[in-house]
Structures are given as structure tokens and as C-alpha cells.
Amino acid sequence: MKIEQQRRVLTAIPGPKSVALQERRLASVAAGVSSALPVFVERAHGAIVVDVDGNQFIDLGSGIGVMTIGHTDEAVVAAASGQLEELTHAMFTITPYESYVRVAELLAEHTPGDWAKKTVLLNSGAEAVENAVKIARHYTGRAGVAVLDHAYHGRTNLTMAMTFKAMPYKTGFGPLAPSVFHAPGSYPFRDGLSGPDAAARTITYLEKSIGASDLACVVAEPIQGEGGFVVPAEGYLAALQAWCTANGVVFVADEIQSGMARTGRYYASEHFGVEPDLVLSAKGIAGGLPIAAVTGRAEIMDAPHAGGLGGTFAGNPVAAAAAIAVFGEIERRNLLAEAGRIEGILKPALLELQEKYPVIGDVRGIGAMLAIELVHPGTLDPNPVAVGSITAFAAQHGVLLLSAGTFGNVIRFLPSLAISDELLREAIGVLGEGFAAL
């Protein structure tokens, strides 16, 4: 291992070099780009991130679920560096190359559904969402796009409109794209509804407020990411998909955060018995290189005319080589099983903390996508202040923890599947100290 897999706090957090860099950053980087923690990172490997002052953090966020197979994974680094020397760019829509095709084949193989599939590659998650909507509109000849409350789909004009939370994503950035409708979803901890009841509520909204004949697609995250790792009640997604199928509405699963082995299956949809028409991948697909995809039923994907989809850097050869390496490593190291190992350690520990600290209202998630929702004890009132205290405590003690949630009151755990039991237990220890210090 290039970096010892060990937590090490040498300076105050942030350390002096980070503080100096932060000054330069404030003078040169737009204020709208903020950082959760003003600690400048220098290197990373496996589950450890090293900052410019030499502090080593246990990374429980993985850059929001991107470094799923671990930082600077050897196979990914070798594939990407090798590719850099062979061909850095060609633009697939001018002259194609094999790696793009191979990524499409791998996605067809590993996304849910046993039917003919096709793929378009893009640069970012938001771009994948945009393209899914373009494809669904072309296929159906309809304009309406339905999303769920608490959803996050991106920061571009269309995806900003599809995202639920105004602040910080939408406030002041309008006008927003039209024909986007926000339907109530399923949030068992807060709405207390069963899957069928929550689905009935969503479907009533879709039928009465939009009308199926004007609806091109329903876009849903099988487990909501930014919204707070909200796991829908049992049966919810399947009922929603059945309604889509019955009404000629394209069902799109935004698996940008929940996909690529994070939950112990390639795609979280599999846990819910759902086979979406279109599946979106990004984040963890290429070990940190920017690439994203829309994959789905061939007849839907083939609806747009030749030349209708593309982009300069979309499906870049270096990122595609990295993606092929990620698929290879998931198989070779049987990483799907690692998500279960992580859940087996982390979830019981979180439930134990919940028994001790009633500020933890809910423990939820699947595999290496787990979360706790903090409340004022005995109520559902969100407690974002406690989240701030815990994440700050963790950072001071060498653990990177991310928050989430519409109310900012969720702590999410997205460790790399490469994290050892030891490191995970050590991070849990720090978390426990954080709660004791609250």
C-alpha cells in the first residue's frame, strides 16, 4: 500500500498549510464553490486521505460515494495511465474506439433487466439525467418529467429544477426548466406510510396533477442520496414502476449515488425487485475519473435520431479505461460481498449508538450506504446542529464524515468497499466519542 492505512492527526484541523491555501483559495475561487471542510488534500489510497499537513483521515465519504473500490486503486491507476499514453481523446462521435463500446457492454451486462440494452456515455451525473429525459421525451413524444420529494438530480438548469431542495441548489438561479413536477415519495421515518399507501399517494398526484398522457418519465433514486439516504417503504418502487409500465411512462432509476456495487448489488434497484427502463450511472463507475451513463431498453435508447446525443469529452478513453478496470476489480475481488461485510459491522454499531443516544432518530440504508437521522429526542424535529457538532468532532479526530438530508440532519456513511474492519471500527469509536461529547 502506498499509504499506510492508519489514522493520524498531527496538527490542528485544518493545519497551517491548509489555512494558508484556504486564503489563496478565497482570493481566487468563486465564493459559490464552498467546501464542507477547509482541509486541502494531497494524496489518498484505499480508505485513507492525506492532507497537505500530513494528517491522515479515515474516509467515510469517498468523495460522495465515488471512490467505491478505494482511492488510487492500482488497477484503475494502471489502466488510466496506460490509456493516457495510447489515446487521450478522439471524440467518439467523430472516430469511435473500443473502450466506449466495452463500457456499454459491461453496463448492459450488469444493469437490471434481461433484455436488449444500449448505452450513451456522458461526463457527469447531471448530464446523464439530462440525457435520460431527452431520450424519454423523444421516445414518448411527451414533455412531462416527474421526480420525488427530497430528490437530488444535479445542478444544470433542467436537473436543478428536478432537485428538491431550494437552498443551496436553486435559490436565485431561476428561471427553472418547465414541465418538471415534484410528487410526494416514500420516507418511512417521516410519513409512516406503507409502500402501497405511499405509492398510491404518488400515483394519485401523477394522475390528477399531471396526467399520464403528458408524462414522459418518472425519475427516482432507489435510495435517495443527498435527500438523506431515504430508503423507500417495501413495495413502493415496484408499485410505482408498475404504474409507469401500464401508462407508457418511462421509469428512470437515478443510481448515480446508489449504484456500482455500493449496496452489495451492482444497482440498488435489485434490492427492491425493480427493473427500470433506464438506469443512470456516474460517481463510482470509474474510480474517480469523470464518466457517466444512461443505459436501458434498446427500443427506448434508440429513439433519438443519429447525431441527437453526444458531447466533446463524453465517454473519454481514459475515463472509459478506468471504468473497465473498476468492473474488473469488482468481479476479481468480489467487492459486492464487501458491502455486506461493512453493513454487518457498521449497522449494529449505529443501532447500539441509537439505544444510547436518543438524538439518533433513525438508522437506515443498505450495504455501504448507511445513515443516521438526528432529531430532538422524542420528536421528529430535525437536529442539524447535532450533525454539525458530530462531523466537526470527527474531522478533528481524523475521520471524514458527510452530512445529507433536506433538513441537513442526516449523517451518511459511504466508505470505500476496500476499508478494513479495523479502520471501520476505529472510525465507529470516534463517532461514539463524538456522541458522548455532544
Residues near ligand PLZ, by CB under 6 A: 64, 124-126, 129, 152-155, 221, 225-226, 254, 256-257, 282
Give min distance, CB of 305 to ligand PLZ, in A: 25
Q: Cβ closer to ligand PLZ: 45 or 153? A: 153
Helices 98-110 and 317-332, axial angle in degrees (round to 10): 40
Give min distance, CB of 64 to ligand PLZ, in A: 5
Q: Cβ closer to ligand PLZ: 132 or 423? A: 132
Q: How far is the CA of 93 from the CAs of 103, 120, 307, 310, 322, in angstroms?
A: 16, 11, 8, 7, 20
Single-letter amino acid, residue 125: G
DSSP element (H, E) containing 278: strand 278-281
Strand partners, 146: 181, 218
Give min distance, CB of 159 to ligand PLZ, in A: 7
Task: Let me know if 167 is exposed, middle or buried by CB neighbors in 10 A (0-12, 13-18, 19+).
Answer: exposed
Q: Cβ closer to ligand PLZ: 280 or 375? A: 280
Q: Cβ closer to ligand PLZ: 56 or 269? A: 269
Q: Cβ closer to ligand PLZ: 187 or 435? A: 187
Q: Cβ closer to ligand PLZ: 83 or 281? A: 281
C-alpha grid cell for residue 417?
A: 468497499
Q: Cβ closer to ligand PLZ: 64 or 91? A: 64
Give min distance, CB of 71 to ligand PLZ, in A: 18
Indicate the pairing of strand 402-404 with strand 410-413. antiparallel
C-alpha grid cell for residue 428?
A: 465507529
Give min distance, CB of 36 to ligand PLZ, in A: 9
Q: Burial code of 53-92, b = ≥16 C-beta within 10 A, e = fewer?
A: bebbbbbbbbbbbbbbbbbbbebbbebbeebeeeeeeebb
Neighbours of 247 (CB within 10 A): 15
Q: Cβ closer to ligand PLZ: 37 or 375? A: 37
- Cβ atoms of 142 and 214 within 8 Å: the answer is yes
Indicate the pairing of strand 215-220 with strand 41-45. unpaired
Give min distance, CB of 157 to ligand PLZ, in A: 13
Give min distance, CB of 423 to ligand PLZ, in A: 24
**C-alpha–C-alpha distance, residues 301 and 219, integer Å:** 16
